[in-house]
Chain A
Amino acid sequence: MDSRRASRMVIDPKVRQVGFVTPSTGTPTPNRTQSGPARSASPSESSPAGNSLPPVTIPPRRHASDNLTSQAVPVPVPMSPLRRLSINENIPIGSYESSEYLLGASPMTSPSIKFDDGEVSEDMFSPGKFSRVNSSGMQSKNYPGASSLITVSAVNKPAGVSEKGGGLSELQNEQLTNSKSLKEKTSKAERRALQEAQRAAKAAAKGEGSNPVVSGGPAPSKAKTTKAVNNPPQRKDAVPSVISEKRGSDRQTEKDRKKDVPHPRMQFDDKQRVEKAKRRAVVKQTEARNRVELFRHLPQYEHGTQLPNLESKFFQLDPMHPAVYKVGLRYLTGDICGGNARCIAMLQAFKESIIDYSTPPEKSLGRDLTAKIGSYVSFMNECRPLSISMGNAIRFLKNRIAKLPPTLPESEAKAALQTDIDRFINEKIILADKVIVEHAVTKIRDGDVLLTHGSSSVVEMILLYAHELGKQFRVVIVDSRPKLDGQALLRRLLAKGLSCTYTHINAISYIMHEVTRVFLGASAVLSNGTVYSRVGTACVCMVAYAFHIPVLICCEAYKFHERVQLDSICSNELGDPDIISKVLGREDVNHLAEWSSTENLQLLNLIYDVTPSDYVSMIITDYGMVPPTSVPVIVREYMKEPLWM
C-alpha cells in the first residue's frame, strides 16, 4: 500500500499542481485524503469524491495490483498511466491518440482500439427500413428477443466475415511499416474524398463502388484507397495495445479506473481532432448546416443520412460483428432508446460477438478481444454517443477480460465472459430495478398524485407495481418535445388501468399544484449529485422544488459516474435538429418548413439536461434511498467493489 503510494508520488507531482489543494500536497505527505484526488489527475476533473476520500476507500483489491504498479513505476512518465499509454502509442503511430476522443461519451473505454473504414457514401435516403419496434420501457425484460429483427442466418454469416477481416487486417499489419508519410498523404486524399463525397450528388454511386473493399483489391476510387491505407492504423492499434496490456493490463484497467479522472471528452470544436476522428469513422456523418454556435464542441451532424449506407454495408463490413452492427443501427434509428435498454442491447451484442469470437493465432484472447470490443464501442459511439451507463458497462467488461487468467482456455474464457455479462445485466440492471421498485413503492401512499416526465422504465415499473399492490394513486405524465415519449408510457399505463393525466411541460406549473410526489428516471447521476437526464427533467425538478414537492430520482447505481458537471452545455448530446421544426402529429405546425436552411436560423435539439442536486430530494438506487450528497460515496464504494459484483 505504502510503497504504491510512494511510487505515485514520484509519478505525478505535476498532476498535483493541476488541480487540487495546496502546494504542500506536493510533498509526499502520507495524507490519505489527498492521495485520492492526486491520483485523479486530468484537468477536467475536480472530483469531490476523491477529495473526501477516507482511508477506507482504498480498495483492498489494490494489493493484488501493487506489484504491477511498482513494476510500472520506473517508467518516468509524469502522467497517469492511461495518458502514458496513449503517448507511447502516439510515438510510433501518429494518428492513434485521437481515438480516445472519439469515444467521447464512454470516457473509460480503453484507448487502445479504433476501427476504421474509409467508407464515404452519402445516401440521402430516409432511414426506416428497419421495422420500428417499440422496445423502450420494459426492454430490460424482453430484450433478448431483439435479435429477431434480423434473420438468424444474417447473424451467423458475418462471423465468418469477421474472421476474414481479421486475416485481412493481419495482412495490413505487415504493411505497417509504410508509416507516416504515406499516411499523411492519404489522409489528405481522404479528406478531399470526404468533401467531395459530401458535396457531390453522385456520392452514393461512388460509395456503392467502394463498398466491396473487403476483398482488398486495388482501389477503384479515392474513397477506396483511403480505406485500404487507412486500415493499418487499426492494425497498429492492436499491437501497442498488446504491449500495453502486457505491461500492465491490470494496472491500467483497475488502478486507473480508480485513479484516473474521466477523459476530457472529445471537443468537436477542435478541428484537427475532428478531422482525425472523421477519417476513421465507420459512420460518415455530414455536419449540420446551421450549427448552434454554443454547441460547437458537440457533434452536430445531419441526421438520417447514414442509415441507408450502413444498411447496405451490412454484409460487407468485415470486422464488425453483425449483432453489434445491428444494435448500432438501431441506436442510429432511435429504435432502442432509454439508458437500460441501450445498455442491455449493447451487452447482449457483445455477448453474441464473444460467442462467435475465436482468438486469432498468435494472439492472446485478452488483448485481441479488448481491441475488438473497443472497435465495437467506437462504432456504436458513432451511431449515437454512448451514454454514461454504457461507458460503465464497457469498463466492466474490459475489466473482466483483463482479469481473465491468460492460461484459461478460450472456450472457458468465453463462457466466463458470457456469464459475467449476464450477471451484469441481471444484477446491475434487472435486480437493481427490482430493488429500486421495492424501495420506491414504500414512498407511495394512497391518494398520492405522482408526476413523471418522459418515459423511464424504472418509473414505469414502480407505477405498475404500486398499482398491482392496490395503492390508490393518480399519475400525471408530463411530456416534452422533441421525443414525446410520454405518450407511449401513457398508453401502456392506461392499458394497465392506471388513472392518468397527460400534459406537456409548459403546463408543469399548472399541474404541480395537485402533485404530491415526482418520480423521475435518470440517464446518469454524477458525483456532484447532479442528475443527467432527459431534457426537461431539470425544469420539472425546478418547478417541483418551487412547490415543495419531493423529487425522487430512480437510478440504478451502475449509472453513477465520478464525473462532475455544472451545466447542460459543456457536455450533452444533440439530436436531429429537423425534429424541432416538425411537430409529431401536428401537421398544422410547419412554420419553419422552408426556413430551416436559412443561415440565421438554428434549430437546437438538446437531448439531455443537468438537474442541480438541490432540486433532488432523494435518489433511489439499488443501494437504497440516498440523498444526492451521497452519490460520491456510492461512486467510491461502488468502484471499490471488485468487479462491481
Chain B
Amino acid sequence: MWRRSASFILDQQQQQKEERKKTTTTTTTTTAMATTTETSSYQNPNNNNNNIHHPNNISAYYQTRAAHHGVVTSDWLAQAQAAVGHDVYDDDADHVVRSSADHHHHPFSVIDEFNRWRKQPDLAEAVAAILALASVIRSSQATTMMELEIELKKASDSLKSWDTTSISLTAGCDLFMRYVTRTSALEYEDFSAAKSRLIERGEKFGEISRKARRTIAMLSQDFIFDGCTILVHGFSRVVLEVLKTAAANKKLFRVLCTEGRPDRTGLRLSNELAKLDVPVKLLIDSAVAYTMDEVDMVFVGADGVVESGGIINMMGTYQIALVAHSMNKPVYVAAESYKFARLYPLDQKDLAPALRPIDFGVPIPSGVEVETSARDYTPPQYLTLLFTDLGVLTPSVVSDELIRLYL
C-alpha cells in the first residue's frame, strides 16, 4: 500500500499533472463529466483502462490510491462514486474549491479559511493549513471515511495549488493527510468517532505548534552559552522564541541581525530583541562574511526542511551558511517538525521559485532583469544541527523521519 516509495513519487507526479490540468481545463468540467469519467476509468480496474488519465478533477490522491491498490473492492468503489457523485466542483480560476458544504448553500472555502487562520500572527502556514483542513472536516457532510478522505484530499490539493511555492503549507497538508489516512486505517469502523478525533486533533494543532516552538527553545538553550554572539538571518518566530527563552534564562549573549532585504524582516527581529534588552547589532546582508569571525553560531529558521536534511529559507541563508561553514562556525536551524517536506531539491533552481517584488529605491531600466526569488536552498552539509520539536537532530535524521512517516 502506501509503504512503497514509488507510490509516492507517482502521487506527486500525478498531482502536478493534475494541477497543470486544473489551470488549463478550468471550469469546463462539469459534475456529470466527472462522474462519467470517474466511472469509466474505475469501473473495473482490472480491465486495464484505469491507466488512461482523463482530464477530470479527481484528485491525484484518489487515482494513485486506485492505481496502487490494484484491487479495488466494489465496496470501496461504491463509496468513491458516491463521494464524487454528490460533490459539486467549482474549480474556477482562483482555485477555490467548494466542498460539499457549498452544495448546501453554506459557502465554505478552504482557502478563505486558510487565509483567515493565516492572519493570526502566531500561526505558521502549516498550522493554518491544518486548521483549515480541520474545519473542512467539521463542515463536511461526508458519511464515510472514504468520502471524508477524498474531500479532504481535494481541499488540501486546492490549498497546495493555491500557493505551490509554500513548502510548509504543502508539508502541513501532507502531514495532516497522512494522519487522516492512518486514523482512518486504525478506526475504520467508527466513522463519527474518527471524525471527531480528527477535528479535535486538527484544532489542537495550533497548540501543538506553539508547544513545538517552546520545545525547540528549550532544546536550544544548552547551545547558547554566556558571552556568545549569535548571527540570525531574517525574522523567524522560532528563532525569536529561542532568543526570548535564552534572555529569560538570563543568558548573556549578543545578537547580530541581518537586515533581511528586501522586506527587511531582520529589522523587525532586532526590534523585538531590543525590547528584551538583548544587545543587538544590525548588519546589512552583505556584511555577513565581514562579521563572521566574531560570531559563535548562526541561528536560522526555515520555510521548509527537505528530505536531504537541507533547508529552504529566506534568500541569503545559503550564503550565510557557506560563510559560516568555511569559517567553522556552527549553523543551527530551528524548525518545527511539520515543516519537514518530501522534497529533494538538487540545486537552487530545482524548486519552485517564490517570487516577490523588490524595491531598489531607484527606477530600474526596463532592459535590466531583476532576480526576484525570495528564498534559497541550503544543502545539509552546511548545517550543523536542527532543533526541532522531535529533538535535536542532525540533518541525516530528517530523511529518516520522513521515510518513517510516509512509507
What's the minimum C-beta distance from A487 to chain B, rounded to whole angstroms? 31
A-B pairs with the 5 shortest C-beta distances? A548-B327, A547-B328, A546-B328, A548-B328, A548-B293
In the complex formed, the residue of A with least CB distance to B293 is A548
Q: In the complex, which residues 540-566 of chain A have their Cβ closer than 8 Å to any Cβ of chain B?
A: 546-548
A548 to B325 Cα, complex, angstroms: 11
A547 to B328 Cα, complex, angstroms: 7
Which chain B positions have C-beta within 8 A of A547? 328
Chain A interface extent, by class: under 10
In the complex formed, the residue of B with least CB distance to A547 is B328
A548 to B327 Cα, complex, angstroms: 6
In the complex formed, the residue of B with least CB distance to A549 is B293
A548 to B293 Cα, complex, angstroms: 8
Which chain A positions have C-beta within 8 A of B293? 548
In the complex formed, the residue of B with least CB distance to A548 is B327
Which chain A positions have C-beta within 8 A of B328? 546-548
Q: In the complex, which residues 290-348 of chain B have their Cβ closer than 8 Å to any Cβ of chain A?
A: 293, 327-328
A546 to B327 Cα, complex, angstroms: 8
Interface residues, chain A, with chain B CB atoms under 8 Å away = 546-548
Q: In the complex, which residues 262-299 of chain B have their Cβ closer than 8 Å to any Cβ of chain A?
A: 293
A548 to B324 Cα, complex, angstroms: 11
Which chain B positions have C-beta within 8 A of A546? 328
A546 to B328 Cα, complex, angstroms: 8
Q: 5 A-B residue contacts at CB 8 Å? A: A546-B328, A547-B328, A548-B293, A548-B327, A548-B328
A547 to B293 Cα, complex, angstroms: 10
What's the minimum C-beta distance from B401 to chain A, rounded to whole angstroms? 32
What's the minimum C-beta distance from B355 to chain A, rounded to whole angstroms? 36
A546 to B325 Cα, complex, angstroms: 11
Which chain B positions have C-beta within 8 A of A548? 293, 327-328
What's the minimum C-beta distance from B225 to chain A, rounded to whole angstroms? 12
A553 to B293 Cα, complex, angstroms: 22
In the complex formed, the residue of A with least CB distance to B327 is A548
What's the minimum C-beta distance from A516 to chain B, rounded to whole angstroms? 10
A59 to B327 Cα, complex, angstroms: 44
In the complex formed, the residue of B with least CB distance to A516 is B293
A548 to B328 Cα, complex, angstroms: 8
A88 to B238 Cα, complex, angstroms: 83
What's the minimum C-beta distance from A543 to chain B, rounded to whole angstroms? 11
What's the minimum C-beta distance from A592 to chain B, rounded to whole angstroms? 37
A547 to B327 Cα, complex, angstroms: 7
What's the minimum C-beta distance from B290 to chain A, rounded to whole angstroms? 13
Q: In the complex, which residues 123-150 of chain B have their Cβ closer than 8 Å to any Cβ of chain A?
A: none
In the complex formed, the residue of B with least CB distance to A546 is B328
What's the minimum C-beta distance from B273 to chain A, rounded to whole angstroms? 26
What's the minimum C-beta distance from B291 to chain A, rounded to whole angstroms? 13
What's the minimum C-beta distance from B119 to chain A, rounded to whole angstroms? 45
- Mark interface residues in B343-370 (1 if CB within 8 Å of A CB, else 0): 0000000000000000000000000000
A546 to B326 Cα, complex, angstroms: 9
In the complex formed, the residue of A with least CB distance to B292 is A548
A559 to B327 Cα, complex, angstroms: 32
A270 to B328 Cα, complex, angstroms: 46
Which chain A positions have C-beta within 8 A of B327? 548
What's the minimum C-beta distance from B154 to chain A, rounded to whole angstroms? 54
A307 to B158 Cα, complex, angstroms: 92
A548 to B326 Cα, complex, angstroms: 9
- Mark interface residues in B237-276 (1 if CB within 8 Å of A CB, else 0): 0000000000000000000000000000000000000000
A548 to B329 Cα, complex, angstroms: 10
A546 to B329 Cα, complex, angstroms: 11
What's the minimum C-beta distance from A48 to chain B, rounded to whole angstroms? 27
What's the minimum C-beta distance from B24 to chain A, rounded to whole angstroms? 54
What's the minimum C-beta distance from A500 to chain B, rounded to whole angstroms? 23
A547 to B329 Cα, complex, angstroms: 9
A311 to B113 Cα, complex, angstroms: 100
What's the minimum C-beta distance from A373 to chain B, rounded to whole angstroms? 51
A22 to B328 Cα, complex, angstroms: 43
What's the minimum C-beta distance from B347 to chain A, rounded to whole angstroms? 27
What's the minimum C-beta distance from A34 to chain B, rounded to whole angstroms? 38
A548 to B292 Cα, complex, angstroms: 11
What's the minimum C-beta distance from B43 to chain A, rounded to whole angstroms? 67
A547 to B296 Cα, complex, angstroms: 12
What's the minimum C-beta distance from A289 to chain B, rounded to whole angstroms? 45
A150 to B173 Cα, complex, angstroms: 92
A398 to B327 Cα, complex, angstroms: 49
A220 to B102 Cα, complex, angstroms: 125
A234 to B327 Cα, complex, angstroms: 60
What's the minimum C-beta distance from B326 to chain A, rounded to whole angstroms? 8
What's the minimum C-beta distance from B41 to chain A, rounded to whole angstroms? 61
A548 to B323 Cα, complex, angstroms: 12
A546 to B293 Cα, complex, angstroms: 13
Q: In the complex, which residues 26-47 of chain B have their Cβ closer than 8 Å to any Cβ of chain A?
A: none
